[in-house]
Structure formats: C-alpha cells, structure tokens
Chain A
C-alpha cells in the first residue's frame, strides 16, 4: 500500500512526530512509526522521492501552516512538525541527486559576536530545516572570522545573521564588510534578523533580506532562492 505510507508520512508531520517514541496531538499513538521511520520505509519500498517530499512532507507542512494561521496550532506544534521534516530531509538528502527534486540549498546561521541571544535564531533554524533547507548552525557569540571561514569552506547559498542587542547589530555590518574584503560577498545571499533589526537597517548594511520572525525568515529565503527579491 505505497499510497498509505505517503499519507501516513503526511499525517505524522501534522502530528509533529519525528520518531516512534514521540507523542503527537492525539492520544495513544506512541510506539507507532513516526516520520523518520516512515520515510526509511518509503525509501525501502522504492517510492518516488518526489512524492515523499511534495505529498508527504510538504503536504503535511502546508496543513500545519493552515492550522497555525487558524489559531488551532501554536508555535511549539509548528516546530515539532518542522523538526520532523528536517530529520526526514536529512535521510533523503543522499537520494536527491537524480530524483528530479532539486536540493533547496544550504544556509549557515549564527548569532553574532558578543551576543548570546539564540532562542530566535534557533527557531529560524528549525523552520528553515522544516522548509527543506540544509542548515548549519554556528551557535551564538560567533567570531566574525569563524563566520567568514564557514562561508569560504561550506559555500552555502545563504547566510543568516541574528542580533538582539543594539550594540551587536553593528557586528552584522562587520561580517558583510569582511566577506567583501575576502571576495566572498557575491557567493552568498545574506539575511538578517533579531528584535532591534529592521528592514531599513538591513538595507543600510547591504544585506539581501530581512525577516521579522521565523516565518518571514523562510519567506525571504524562498523569495531570494527564486530570485523574486531584489
């Protein structure tokens, strides 16, 4: 019953269950396979990667998004689903080549030097993973040099910088300048965020995009991927 596996994947994304040990929204499902086990099973059954991703994972995530919009789901629900999708994408990644599905791209995220605020950045990472991106999180209080080195070595399509203090916002500009000095600026699109950061500030330091929250973070990265953002 291949179709069933896909709809089970979708259902478990909606339930926010990464593995069989996870609780979902409904009672009594602990012990039944979660998204990661189902994706393994789907691969073993030879189901198309395209279907697993678009019908199963993204299909589930779309419904989660609708439930969130409707006020039925809260952020913790959304994050559980996004984490399940993120884990599934890790399993699928080696199989993407030749499957007809293009990898969405890699993004490096970091909270800048001298700033320890990371709750928002972590949420952004989870939602980006849930949207199918490969995320490398460098943590908080990250040296400019470490960020620049990571961009050079990992060659990500995107760099996401977070700052929550008015004093550390300026470090974002320093990162951009240092990337320029190292001839790396054109290789990567830079998005910035954090409570004191604004659209104007992002423009003023030469970032490519700004997101006021986790959803806008995904939206701005999606827009930059498809080239609709300028």
Chain B
C-alpha cells in the first residue's frame, strides 16, 4: 500500500489553458532559437543523432549550440512514464505518482551547509529580578554525518514527511569528495525507511550507492521493482546551458533506469527574465530539454519534471524564496507538468529568514499552503530549511510537520451530498425544537471519527509563547523513539563491499 499523501480535490490554478499553451509554444521556440549551449559532448552526440542541429562554439571550454526540434521533444514527453513509483525500505512508505492526479507527497531537502542548534538560556528582568524567562537561542555550525543521521531519524517519525531528501551537507574532517556519497546514502537509509532522494557529489560513486541500494532492497531486480533511492540533478544551468559533469551523472543514472528528477532553478532577474512569462517559458524549455535527453538515453526512464524557480532579492540578488512571485512561478510549473501529464517535483516552504520565528513561519506557511493547493506530486517543502536553503534546523522541521498536518486537514474534500444534507437538516429541525437550542450532543460522533482539527499542537499555558520549547520537547521525544535500522547481516555486507563508509556509522560494531 503506498502512502496516502494529500489528494487535492480541485487544484488551484493560476494560468488559463490558453496561457499554458502559450508558454508551451514559447518554450518550443526557445529550444530551436536560441536553443541550448551544451558543455557536455555526449549530450550533443545523443541529441544530434536524434535530429537536433548542432554547432560548435569557439572558446576556452568546448561547447556546442544545440537546437532541439519540437517533434523530438514531443516524442520524449510521450515516452516519459506518466506514473512514477518511488520505493522505500518499508514498502508501506512507497510513493506512487500519476502525472494527472494532484496527490501531493511532502518531502524534505536540501543540502544545507549550516546546522542550527537550539538552546534555551534564561533571562532575568532587570527591573524585577524575580521575573525570568527562557528564550530560544540559535547557534549555527557546519553540518556533520551525525546531524544527517539525527535528521533522518526524526524525519522517520514525522507523520507528514512522505520522503526524505538529504537535508544537510556532511562536512566532517574524514569526509572527502570520494566518500561523501556513500556516507550520505548510508546515514540516511540506515535511519529512515522512507524513500531516499539525493544529488550525487561524484559520478565515480554512482555504482557504489546503487550497489548499496541493491543490498538493502534485496538484489538488482528487487531494486528495479522497489527503487528505494532516486536522484536529483540540476543538469541545466540557467539560462539554457547543459553543464558538463552533472549531465554526465544524469546520463549514467538514466542508463541504469533509476528514477531521476530533472530540475532547473532559474532566478528571475539574474538568470531568467524578471517577468513571469519569461521565466516560465525558459524554465519549461530547460526542464523539457533535460527530459528529452533522458528519454533519448533510455526511453521510459522514470523522470520527474523538477521546478525550483525563484525570484531574485532586489537588495543582494540572492534568492528570495519568501517572495510571493516564487510561489506563483512554482504553481505555474505545476500546471505545465500537468499539461504534459508528467509528475512534478515542486518547491515550497523555503524562507528567507535565518532563524525560526515569526518571519520564517509566515514565509513558509504562505508558500506551503498555496503551492500544496496547486497539487504537485512531489513537493520539496523544505522541512526545517532556513536562509534560502543554507541552514537546516531540526526544531523547525518539527514545527513544519505540525503545520502540514493542518494543511492536510484543510485540503480534505468537502463532504456535502444528499445523505449528509438530509442528516443535518434533521439535526437542525430537532435542535430548534428543544428549549436549549444547542447542537453539542451531535459533536461526539464527529469528534471520535477524527474529523475535527485539533488545537494548535504547541500552544502553551497562560500568556507565554511556548511554541519553541514545546516543539523542542517533541523533537527530543522523537529522537528517543527507536528507528528500524538496516539489519546486521546487510549492514555487514555493506561495510564489506562498499568502500568508504565510515566505520563509526556501523551501529552494530559500536555497541549501541
């Protein structure tokens, strides 16, 4: 049984059908004029052999202008699966996504460099030293493998998290470019039984992480049937450039038939036009170019239409995920993917704010609600992420989970039909005839069915705002709850066969 996700009944749409088609046509024009610049030779050869016009560009780095005809793109869209299955260590955590069904799965992300610890020092009122309060204090530091394990552990228990994308960039002294991938995969898979998605640091590690996944899934065939891992690649650098090394990785993952996200992250104002029509026509062209390449490498490769559009901040030209336009672009992309019938990877919840607090709550909740309402299949909804993807805070992830519970309840389908109306009309007539004129007696059956939304889960007593402290308690509680690790025998084989996994990650040799 796959996970339920949130089935959005009537998804919110910003664009009319005509606008969607206009964007599609503009993207098709972009793909032939100006086309893409490819820094990757193999991509050029593959596209060329299927009818793309190719021309070499003079310069320091070898590059080619590639013009992809509409027909090639359309037949690639045709061959891309409209249903994608992402497996999981625990089969109950399987995700099944249909491009035409707005069922939203919520996932974590991204690879932040900074991990935010929290502490609650006590402050004394200067005027009245008998009065004290505890205030949260957030302390940033570089992320480690242990942090990644902790985050995977807590996300295993967060009810609304459907899938796990590695949250933090592991920067321990003993982590190198050569052993980073195997360690991020092992740390995540060993502490979390949900689907695991990640980017790859080094293509040389692809076979090792795939082998690790095969060992865990129970063999090559078992991994094919239950792809417990998938990859995300940003092979197109905006505007319209196939990057050399990520494109290599992309091609190799496609060859192995594992699910992959083609994601593009143009920034409106710098690497894409600041106007909505412009960033939309461009990102759509970029994602389709990637999908086309993938389908030419191996027709039928399971692929997600990945969109991470963002607007630039006007004060630094950094990203502004908190801006309202960012949510608008994301919703537009959901519609484009649905137009093609492809499952969509979308983004919400990333905030500009550097620490949890009012700004972060408002920014993330705003985009979480509106983007979820548009019905993307796989929503990287930034559990715990702050400062535009640069910082991860586990406490924030616990808060996000609670807030998504509210969004889930909000998005449930209305129950209004003939039988329901007959029942309530009966109630109304009965109550109006009584002296008290109260409906209280009818609450209990509904309450027991779990249909009534709860109180805010971190509401404190009295006037104090105890949200952070209560969420922190919850976080500790979840950390104390055990997770189902990979069994000892498989663990032993992983440590035997896969080079580079840090011995300290072997829980069976550690004695705990």
| A residues at B contact (CB < 8 Å) | 74-76, 114, 116, 119, 123, 139, 141, 146, 166-167, 195-196, 213
Query: A195 to B317, Cβ gap below 8 A?
Result: no
Query: B316 to A213, Cβ gap below 8 A?
Result: yes
Contact among A74, A116, A119 with B314 in the assembled complex (CB-CB below 8 Å): A74
Query: B314 to A75, Cβ gap below 8 A?
Result: yes
Query: B113 to A196, Cβ gap below 8 A?
Result: yes
Q: Which residues of A contact B61 (CB under 8 A)?
A: 139, 141
Q: Which secondary structure characterizes the binding site on chain B?
A: loop
If A166-B113, A195-B390, A196-B113 are given as contacts, then 15 extra A-B residue pairs at C-beta distance below 8 Å, sorted by A number, are A74-B314, A74-B315, A75-B315, A75-B317, A116-B237, A116-B243, A119-B271, A139-B60, A139-B61, A141-B61, A141-B244, A146-B60, A166-B169, A167-B201, A213-B316
Number of B residues with CB within 8 Å of any CB on chain A: 21
Within the complex, what minimum Cβ distance (angstroms) separates B138 from chain A? 18
Jot down 12 A-B pairs with beta carbons below 8 A, ordered by A: A74-B315, A75-B313, A75-B317, A76-B317, A116-B237, A116-B243, A139-B60, A139-B61, A141-B61, A141-B244, A167-B177, A196-B113
Q: Which residues of B contact A114 (CB under 8 A)?
A: 245
Task: Say whether B171 faces chain A, with CB atoms less than 8 Å apart.
Answer: yes
Task: Say whether B267 faces chain A, with CB atoms less than 8 Å apart.
Answer: yes
Give the complex CA separation of A196 and B111 in angstroms.
13
Query: A76 to B269, Cβ gap below 8 A?
Result: yes
Within 8 A of A (CB), among B310-344: 313-317
Q: Which residues of B contact A141 (CB under 8 A)?
A: 61, 244
Q: Report which residue of B269, B271, B316 has the largest number of chain A beta carbons within 10 angstroms of its beta carbon.
A: B316
Quick one: CB contact mask for B59-71 with A, threshold 8 Å, 1 for yes?
0110000000000
Q: Which residues of B contact A195 (CB under 8 A)?
A: 113, 390
Q: Which B residue's beta carbon lies closest to that of A68?
A: B315
Query: A119 to B60, Cβ gap below 8 A?
Result: no
Query: B171 to A166, Cβ gap below 8 A?
Result: yes
Within the complex, what minimum Cβ distance (angstroms) separates B189 from chain A? 22
Q: Which residues of A contact B171 (CB under 8 A)?
A: 166
Quick one: CB contact mask for B411-436 with A, threshold 8 Å, 1 for yes?
00000000000000000000000000
Within the complex, what minimum Cβ distance (angstroms) separates B257 from chain A? 27
Query: B237 to A123, Cβ gap below 8 A?
Result: no
Query: B169 to A123, Cβ gap below 8 A?
Result: no
Task: Say whether B270 faces chain A, with CB atoms less than 8 Å apart.
Answer: yes
Q: Which residues of A contact B267 (CB under 8 A)?
A: 119
Query: B270 to A119, Cβ gap below 8 A?
Result: yes
Q: Which residues of A contact B245 (CB under 8 A)?
A: 114
Within 8 A of A (CB), among B272-325: 313-317
Give the complex CA separation of A134 and B107 in angstroms.
47
Q: Which A residue's beta carbon lies closest to that of B269?
A: A76
Q: Which A residue's beta carbon lies closest to that of B114?
A: A196
Q: Which residues of A contact B243 (CB under 8 A)?
A: 116
Within 8 A of A (CB), among B43-63: 60-61
Quick one: CB contact mask for B84-122 with A, threshold 8 Å, 1 for yes?
000000000000000000000000000001000000000
Give the complex CA separation of A54 and B216 in angstroms.
69
Give the complex CA separation of A114 and B39 in angstroms.
13
Within the complex, what minimum Cβ distance (angstroms) separates A96 from chain B? 29
Q: Which residues of B contact A75 (CB under 8 A)?
A: 313-317
Q: With A119-B271, A167-B201 known to touch, is A76 a contact of B314 (CB < 8 Å)?
A: yes
Within the complex, what minimum Cβ distance (angstroms) separates B27 from chain A? 23
Give the complex CA separation of A107 and B270 in angstroms.
23
Q: Which residues of B contact A213 (CB under 8 A)?
A: 316
Quick one: CB contact mask for B196-212 with A, threshold 8 Å, 1 for yes?
00000100000000000
Q: Which residues of B contact A167 (CB under 8 A)?
A: 177, 201
Q: 4 tightest CB-CB pairs across the interface, nearest first? A: A74-B314, A75-B317, A119-B270, A167-B177
Q: Which A residue's beta carbon lies closest to that of B59?
A: A139
Give the complex CA separation of A146 and B316 in angstroms.
30
Within the complex, what minimum Cβ distance (angstroms) separates A141 from chain B? 7
Within 8 A of A (CB), among B208-263: 237, 243-245
Give the complex CA separation of A141 and B61 in angstroms.
9
Q: Report which residue of B177, B317, B390 has the largest number of chain A beta carbons within 10 angstroms of its beta carbon.
A: B317
Give the complex CA separation of A167 and B176 in angstroms.
8
Within the complex, what minimum Cβ distance (angstroms) separates B61 from chain A? 7
Q: Which B residue's beta carbon lies closest to that of A142?
A: B60
Q: Which residues of A contact B316 (CB under 8 A)?
A: 75, 213
Q: Which residues of A contact B177 (CB under 8 A)?
A: 167
Give the complex CA separation of A139 and B60 in angstroms.
10
Give the complex CA separation of A146 and B244 in angstroms.
18
Q: Which residues of B contact A123 (CB under 8 A)?
A: 317
Give the complex CA separation of A141 and B201 in angstroms.
16
Give the complex CA separation of A141 and B390 in angstroms.
22
